[in-house]
Structure 1
Amino acid sequence: MAFDTASFRALFPSLDSGIAHFDGPGGTQTPLPVAEAITRVLVGPLSNRGRATASERNADEAVVAFREAVAGLTGGDPRGVVYGRSATQLAYDFARHLGRHWTADDEVVVSRLDHDSNVRPWVQAAERAGAQVRWIDFDPETGELDLDSATAAIGPRTRLVAVTGASNLIGTKPPVRSVADLAHAAGALVWVDGVHLAAHTFVDVRELGADFFVCSAYKFLGPHCSALAADPALLETIEVEKLAPSTDVVPERFEYGTLPYEQMAGVTAAIDLLASLGDADASAPRRERLASAFAVLHEHEARLIERLEAGLATFGDRVVLHSRAADRTPTQTITFRDRSTADAARFLTERDIALGSSDFYAYEAAIRLGLPDSAGLRMGVAPYTTEDEVDRLLTGLRAFLES
């Protein structure tokens, strides 16, 4: 099935601006069905959760639908889906929950490939407990995670291994299952940052071996919030600090305060829109429709990134490509032999081509790659990206290099 980009783009009022968005790795544009779902819940009627009135039921149903939708996206259990304001907030919350039992005899393992939100919360929790931090490295030449490094880092004292599902900086999709198997053999838990992965890949948390899997809806057409998928039986074992009258039920005990029902409805709408993009029957289960949709989107995005990289190759050695892993998302980060990526970002932005020059919070990865000034020019394609926009980006880069 060929993806109908034109029909899909019609759902995005923001695309009428004429801006070519290659900033998807930092957050996608929002389609009308998501905005409409948010508005529908907000104008309600809406109250706090309950079953007595229509307004209470609307709130309750938004929460239930959110958990079911995220479970459909991740292959998890709705009873183990926790709402979060961001992936960073969820990591800090659970670093506090889990780290309260760590001691100086324990070790925590993090990866240099990761966004700092899956590094610093664990490092800081380990420091508070007096636990040791060990690192999984990656090869800056290939972008591949170093499994030998993982084998050396993970051992009988390991309590948690935090690893990305896909690098937000260079797109590398490391062998998460292999890392998870090492961790589980040592009796450790596995926290997977799936924020960049879930936007481009049909995820199965069980196949990944993830004990905790985090994704953020604003990376896949939804509102600015996140979700955690975990086994509810595992969540039952985790003690939390909470208000005395608040519920001790899982997953609610991890969600502080009144939930943003409208955001949750937006997440559900985003996932259902994604599920509609494949060729599965509309009456098929959500999980089946998502599998079909991601297959269609993968073909579309792979064709676009191949076109982009073929064009970048024509610039010769003036452009250095840092996204080189064999298995990666449709993301490419580049630097220049003799020009500044910050200057390039400004040049392109002035021509309504949206992207950025930064480490994009992949702090350790940027250092390991040796990016000049810790900054690369990151380009990512999204479902609404077109071939014409790819050509427009390449034309803009050529004009920059010739300026």
Structure 2
Amino acid sequence: MSSDNGHTLDAQAIRSCFPALKAGTARFDAPGGTQTPQQVIDAIADALTRPLANRGALTEGARNAETIVTGARQALADLLGSGPGSVVFGRSATQLVYDLARTLAKDWGPGDEVVVSRLDHDSNVRPWVQAAEAVGATVRWADFDPATGELGAGHVEAVLSGRTRLVAVTAASNLIGTRPDVPALAELAHRAGALLHVDAVHYASHASVDLAALGADTLVCSPYKFLGPHLGVLTGRAELLHSLRPDKLLPSSDAVPERFELGTLPYELLAGATAAVDFLAGLAPGEGSRRERLVRAFAALTAHEDRLRRRIEEGLARLDGVTVYSRAALRTPTTLFTVAGRSPGDVSRQLAERGVDAPAGSFYAYEASRRLGLGEEGGVRVGLAPYTCDEDVDRLLDALDVPRG
């Protein structure tokens, strides 16, 4: 799916694997969820076609389930730079963060502090705010610079203290793409004696994740944002996960990671998640472990998406009345913009009528949209995926009925 140099993705070869793209729409809605390749669809169907039962070794169905779960834990560990014994599955990243927040908050109380950022999706804000409020802990807010979109070390350091128990921060803004220097923030948090929780839901779609290199104590992502099915994944430092005591049913396993998983796992979705990771690992040619192939593939993907992002931004810069809010020096291929005199919803509807899917809103980044002065109306968001091609970019820019400067 790449040229021989390993740096340029073959978008047309990639696109041929996605049945949904046959509808002919130019899709820029990937930050809200990507389309699904046939390989993932087949893996889900295969899991449902073969015998399945509760995990075990006695029957074929039990063995199939065990194989799927074991394989999915290893696949996500390879993707996230963690260990398979530290991979937790849940209904969504939001659910997993709520569960984690309630569990950690058992050890918080009045006088303790939690730091959240205004750059984040609300799923990495409200669970911490509500957990802190429930036990009388204090919430401190790290602002970001609305002029640049940057969340710097100084913004977080300003609200840290010796009472800080946890810092929650995004690795990439789902609204404007900003990629904070997470390792630097981790160093600050750990120096203050706090844990660092990282929302990698948007980040994991565009960059190679390495739990240890980021300095994260816990981290979440969502496979449906990187070509997989709808579920959530949490990982973290093994020793931390073993120290936590989440609420669970009495007869359910107390082993890690099972103690964090409520009820029977969705085996077919786990099979699909493994297939999605394997699909990503095959985006660039070459041998090596799955982890090595993933790192190489994300390097090629970054080059592909950054080139298209620059084309979009250059095109938008030539249009009168367009304001682009994605301005950070390091960011994902996610561009938020508005058009003077027109609501974001109207612009999005016009694009949809012309076969271009670019949704409008604040996309659950409630605090970030308000900080940018956009309120709940937000802006038009253009996000890229491995299957985005030059023709899509041409259609987007042509469909924007805005005078050129």
- Regarding TM over 0.5, the answer is yes
The answer to whether residue 167 in structure 2 is matched with residue 161 in structure 1 is yes
Is contact 2:334-2:382 (8 Å) kept? yes
Summarize the Cα distance change of 1:225–1:323 in structure 2 as closer, same or farther, 3 Å threshold: same
Instruction: Map 1:183-262 onto structure 2 (within 5 A).
Output: 183-262=189-268
Instruction: Map 1:113-124 onto structure 2 (within 5 A).
Output: 113-124=119-130
How far is the alpha carbon of 1:373 from its aligned partner? 4.9
What is the CA RMSD across the aligned residues, in angstroms? 1.1
For 2:162, give the aligned amino acid.
Answer: P
In the alignment, the residues of structure 2 paired with residue 117 and residue 299 of structure 1 have an alpha-carbon distance, to the nearest angstrom, of 29
Is contact 2:366-2:376 (8 Å) kept? no
Instruction: Map 1:297-316 onto structure 2 (within 5 A).
Output: 297-316=301-320
Percent identity at matched positions? 56
In the alignment, the residues of structure 1 paired with residue 31 and residue 180 of structure 2 have an alpha-carbon distance, to the nearest angstrom, of 17
In the alignment, the residues of structure 1 paired with residue 254 and residue 50 of structure 2 have an alpha-carbon distance, to the nearest angstrom, of 28
The answer to whether residue 279 in structure 2 is matched with residue 273 in structure 1 is yes
Name the TM-score, length of structure 2 as normaliser: 0.97
Instruction: Map 1:119-158 onto structure 2 (within 5 A).
Output: 119-158=125-164
Instruction: Map 1:74-85 onto structure 2 (within 5 A).
Output: 74-85=80-91
The C-alpha deviation readout for 1:308-328, integer Å capped at 9, x for no partner, is 111111114x00000000000
In the alignment, the residues of structure 1 paired with residue 132 and residue 319 of structure 2 have an alpha-carbon distance, to the nearest angstrom, of 45
Greater Cα shift, 162-171 or 94-103: 94-103
Q: Which runs of 4+ in 1 moved over 3 A?
A: none
Three-state SS of the structure 2 residue aligned to 1:8 is helix
How far is the alpha carbon of 1:45 from its aligned partner? 1.0
Structure 1 alignment gaps of length 5 or more: none
Greater Cα shift, 138-147 or 160-169: 138-147
Query: Match for residue 39 of structure 1?
Result: 45
Is contact 2:103-2:244 (8 Å) kept? yes
Summarize the Cα distance change of 1:14–1:82 in structure 2 as closer, same or farther, 3 Å threshold: same
The C-alpha deviation readout for 1:259-289, integer Å capped at 9, x for no partner, is 00100010000000000111221xx111000
Matching residue within 56, 66, 76 for 1:60 = 66
Matching residue within 45, 54, 60 for 1:48 = 54
How far is the alpha carbon of 1:250 from its aligned partner? 0.3
Matching residue within 390, 394, 398 for 1:387 = 390
Name the TM-score, length of structure 1 as normaliser: 0.97
Is contact 1:344-1:400 (8 Å) kept? no
In the alignment, the residues of structure 2 paired with residue 151 and residue 389 of structure 1 have an alpha-carbon distance, to the nearest angstrom, of 41
In the alignment, the residues of structure 1 paired with residue 100 and residue 352 of structure 2 have an alpha-carbon distance, to the nearest angstrom, of 38
How far is the alpha carbon of 1:148 from its aligned partner? 1.6
For 1:359, give the aligned amino acid.
Answer: S
For 1:111, give the aligned amino acid.
Answer: S
Count of equivalent residues: 398
Is contact 2:344-2:377 (8 Å) kept? no
Query: Match for residue 291 of structure 1?
Result: 295
Query: Match for residue 3 of structure 2?
Result: none
Is contact 1:75-1:203 (8 Å) kept? yes
Is contact 1:136-1:146 (8 Å) kept? no
